[in-house]
Amino acid sequence: MKIVVDAMGGDHAPGATIEGVVDAVNDFHVHVAVIGLENEIIKELEKYQYPKELIEIIHAPEVVGMHEPAAVSLRRKKKSSISLGLDLLKQSSQYNAFVSAGNTGAVVSAATVKLRMMPGVDRAAIGLVIPTLKKFSFLIDVGANTAPKHQHLVQSAQMSEVYVREVLGVASPTVGLLNIGEEETKGSDFEKETHKLMEEKVKGFIGNIEANEVFSGKADCIICDGYVGNIVIKISEGLMESAGTLLKREIKKSPLAMLGAFLMKTNLKHIKKYADYSEYGGAPLLGVNGIVMIGHGRSSPKAIKNAISATMREVDHNIIEAMRKEVAV
Amino acid sequence: MKIVVDAMGGDHAPGATIEGVVDAVNDFHVHVAVIGLENEIIKELEKYQYPKELIEIIHAPEVVGMHEPAAVSLRRKKKSSISLGLDLLKQSSQYNAFVSAGNTGAVVSAATVKLRMMPGVDRAAIGLVIPTLKKFSFLIDVGANTAPKHQHLVQSAQMSEVYVREVLGVASPTVGLLNIGEEETKGSDFEKETHKLMEEKVKGFIGNIEANEVFSGKADCIICDGYVGNIVIKISEGLMESAGTLLKREIKKSPLAMLGAFLMKTNLKHIKKYADYSEYGGAPLLGVNGIVMIGHGRSSPKAIKNAISATMREVDHNIIEAMRKEVAV
């Protein structure tokens, strides 16, 4: 197995990316091809010890900025690490997957154009494993398709059911539609129609899930449009950050609180770790003919390492074949 | 000032509602007309001490269930506490506002039909004061209009700017559009077009606000469609609840953590209180010709009392007149 990793993707690239790659290589003995500005990659790699034969360096002379419009980068930067990395995945059976914490829009556009959609799927969607009180759920879409049609949501639901079963090992995943009420009569006409279609076409469909139940673990797969999914993720991030800031302010108020926080240190760390998406790897881009994993823009080395580990599970479980077989044409 | 309160609205009605009304009457010396099933109201009121002349009882023989479809309740239950309460507000200058923690859809529909929209506003929107790291922000719409047109969002923005200035006392409120990116090129065509219109027409407009900044206090007014706003509120509720459950689980793990939590007890309570929407009163329904306040379905007596207090501020500041003057026709 060899995984192509975009060295230039992410706010802390290439430093964080390379460190994550080295950790993954040392821990999992996986073959990685890092793609990006060769000089910078070599400079970073020199800092670490690792089995040289496990890391291949591929030069890509162009870099897509984190905030560049996707369409422009696709047209103008044909030799970026994203573009060339996906070309590799398409053209050579030697490479099994592509991981990037770079510009999400650029990765989605390039993957869609280069790898094409799998039969029966019209639009790509990004899934994300989120922590819940039970264990985890799979939220899809978190930002690829911000104005989906009914069938796109149905297809995302079908793909996620296969993904959670095959890659995450849940025997019979339940699938819920994120909506503003539990009853099937709730939401706009769009949600009502989607609900009806899902009842017909989606294995494991259990109906609407209200937003306050997302983190309770009521459904294994939670389906929503990319706009709402992105809001869900960012609201949660922002709220946990604000709660953390608030906690720190409170702790500073009194020596007793400080002592209390000290005694709870391990426990507070557990909660922080639990709520930290980077613990759960990256966000798989589903629907294209190839394994593509998108990392958080703020990816730490640990996040990169965990994204590689999650990608390895996808390759091991041959997720593309499994989806192709099950997603209705 | 006399405020009509729906005794039958909310999951814990009429018990919680009446207790909240009595607390408000005792603390604020405000006149309240409680409307609902007379016998039940009298039974609840008998439990408390209060100046009798401050509470008027009005009988409404029908009750709208919390999950009844709004259109049906409006047509079939013309003598519900919601219907008759809003009739009172419309027909008599003696009553200044209507407060209900009942079926939100039913309140919105009935208020729209009975009070009509104010000039220059096409659709009603529900605002909500949310706690942020700075102090608070005003999120609108949290559920009245789930599929708004551009102008509805612009009108909500204009109304919220007036509301936050006049009722909440922020000198020059800033207004942000909730979106999935900061740049004005982000989001679907719908968001881009809305952004453009807001730049032209909304006082204090500062551009897009990403969801992870909602709780940072970056904008005083945050504008979104009712579907997204409802998701934001419920995701936050659910996440805080899950975090609380997680904290309790952690505390049970060791005696040291238990001691730590004990020492931090007051501080943890502060945070809980800070994050509790009921501390901030209800959610004003803006856009109709009358002051209507919607309470959370799970409203406690304290939430009802705070909703009445927030409503009193609206009456004091003559918010309907202020909006009528400023919202463009």
pLDDT digits (tens, 9 = 90+) for B57-70: 999 999 999 888 88
**What pLDDT is stored for residue A249 in this prediction?**
84
Q: What is the pLDDT of residues A219-234, one digit of tens each?
A: 999 999 998 999 999 8
Q: Which residues of A touch B230 (CB under 8 A)?
A: 180, 211
Tell if the CB–CB gap between A216 and B242 is shorter than 8 Å: yes
Kindly provide the ipTM of the predicted complex, given to two decimals. Answer: 0.80
pLDDT tops 60 at residue A317: yes
pLDDT tops 80 at residue A112: yes
Q: Which structure tokens are listed for B189?
A: 């065509």
pLDDT tops 80 at residue B221: yes
Just give the CATH number of A128-277.
Answer: 3.40.718.10
pLDDT tops 70 at residue B149: yes
| Facing residue for B231 by CB, picked from A211, A262, A268 | A211
**What pLDDT is stored for residue B311 in this prediction?**
96
Residue keyed to tokens 């020199």:
A46
Residues 41-60 of A with CB under 8 A from B: none
CA distances from A307 to A240, A254, B21, B39 (A): 22, 40, 54, 62
pLDDT tops 80 at residue B130: yes
pLDDT tops 90 at residue B307: yes
How much is the mean pLDDT over chain A? 91
**What pLDDT is stored for residue B57 in this prediction?**
97
Q: What is the pLDDT of residues B57-107, one digit of tens each?
A: 999 999 999 888 888 888 889 999 999 999 999 999 999 999 999 999 999
| SS percent in chain B: helix, strand, coil, step 5 | 50, 20, 30
**What pLDDT is stored for residue B133 in this prediction?**
85
Tell me which range, A52-66, A69-83, A252-266, is most confidently predicted by mean pLDDT.
Answer: A52-66
Confidence of residue A266 (pLDDT cuts 50, 70, 90): confident
With pLDDT > 70 as the criterion, what percentage of chain B qualifies?
96
Distance from C-alpha of B57 to C-alpha of A257, rounded to nearest angstrom: 48
Confidence of residue A124 (pLDDT cuts 50, 70, 90): very high
Angle B201-B289-B151 from CA coordinates, rounded to 5° = 25
Q: What's the mean pLDDT in B174-183?
A: 85
Q: What is the pLDDT of residues B182-198, one digit of tens each?
A: 666 666 778 888 999 99
| Facing residue for B242 by CB, picked from A133, A259, A266 | A133
**What pLDDT is stored for residue A6 in this prediction?**
97
Confidence of residue A128 (pLDDT cuts 50, 70, 90): very high
Pair A182, A189: CB distance under 8 Å: no
**What pLDDT is stored for residue B278 in this prediction?**
65
**Poorest-confidence range of A21-35, A57-71, A259-273?**
A259-273
Number of H helices, E strands in chain A: 12, 11
Tell if the CB–CB gap between B239 and A236 is shorter than 8 Å: yes
| Facing residue for B238 by CB, picked from A180, A214, A243 | A214
**What pLDDT is stored for residue A73 in this prediction?**
82
Domain A1-121+287-329: CATH architecture, name and number where available:
3-Layer(aba) Sandwich (3.40)
In this structure, which amino acid lies at residue A137?
S
**What pLDDT is stored for residue A176 in this prediction?**
96
Torsion angle defined by CA atoms of residues B48, B53, B55 and B56, in that order, rounded to the nearest 10 degrees: 130
**Poorest-confidence range of A37-41, A112-116, A230-234, B311-315?**
A230-234
Dihedral-angle region of residue B317 (phi above 0 means left; psi in -120 to 50 means alpha; beta otherwise)? alpha
pLDDT tops 60 at residue B329: no
Domain with CATH 3.40.718.10 in chain A: 1-121+287-329, 128-277
Per the model's pLDDT, the better-predicted residue between A191 and B86 turns out to be: B86
**What pLDDT is stored for residue B314 in this prediction?**
95
Tell if the CB–CB gap between B267 and A274 is shorter than 8 Å: no
pLDDT tops 80 at residue B23: yes
Q: Which residues of B touch A231 (CB under 8 A)?
A: 178, 180, 211, 228, 231-232
Q: Taking CA atoms, what residue in B is nearest to A264?
A: B257
**What pLDDT is stored for residue B251 in this prediction?**
84
Distance from C-alpha of A125 to C-alpha of A111, rounded to nearest angstrom: 11
Q: Is A133 on the interface with B (CB under 8 A)?
A: yes
Number of H helices, E strands in chain B: 12, 11
Distance from C-alpha of A48 to C-alpha of A39, rounded to nearest angstrom: 15
Domain B127-278: CATH architecture, name and number where available:
3-Layer(aba) Sandwich (3.40)
Distance from C-alpha of A175 to C-alpha of B147, rounded to nearest angstrom: 24
Q: Is A255 on the interface with B (CB under 8 A)?
A: no
Dihedral-angle region of residue B30 (phi above 0 means left; psi in -120 to 50 means alpha; beta otherwise)? beta
**What pLDDT is stored for residue B263 in this prediction?**
83
- Which residues are CB-neighbours of A139 under 8 A, at least 6 positions away? A127, A128, A130, A214, A222, A224, A229, A232, A233
Q: Which residues of B touch A177 (CB under 8 A)?
A: none
Q: How far away is chain B from the Cα of A49, in angstroms, using its nearest Cα?
A: 37
Domain with CATH 3.40.718.10 in chain B: 1-121+287-319, 127-278
Beta-carbon neighbour count of residue A71 at 10 Å?
11
Domain B1-121+287-319: CATH architecture, name and number where available:
3-Layer(aba) Sandwich (3.40)
Distance from C-alpha of A13 to C-alpha of B257, rounded to nearest angstrom: 38
Confidence of residue B241 (pLDDT cuts 50, 70, 90): confident
How much is the mean pLDDT over chain B? 91
Residue keyed to tokens 């302010």:
A249
pLDDT tops 60 at residue A329: no
Residue keyed to tokens 């004003």:
B284
Residue keyed to tokens 């970026």:
A80
> Chain-centre distance of CA B138, in angstroms?
10
Tell if the CB–CB gap between B215 and A262 is shorter than 8 Å: no
Distance from C-alpha of B2 to C-alpha of B7, rounded to nearest angstrom: 15
Per the model's pLDDT, the better-predicted residue between B135 and A307 turns out to be: A307
pTM, 2 dp: 0.86
Q: Which residues of A touch B231 (CB under 8 A)?
A: 178, 180, 211, 228, 231-232
Tell if the CB–CB gap between B263 and A253 is shorter than 8 Å: no
Q: What's the mean pLDDT in A109-134?
A: 94
Q: What is the pLDDT of residues A150-188, one digit of tens each?
A: 999 999 999 999 999 999 999 999 999 998 876 666 667
| Facing residue for A67 by CB, picked from B67, B146, B183 | B183
Residues 146-165 of A with CB under 8 A from B: 146-147
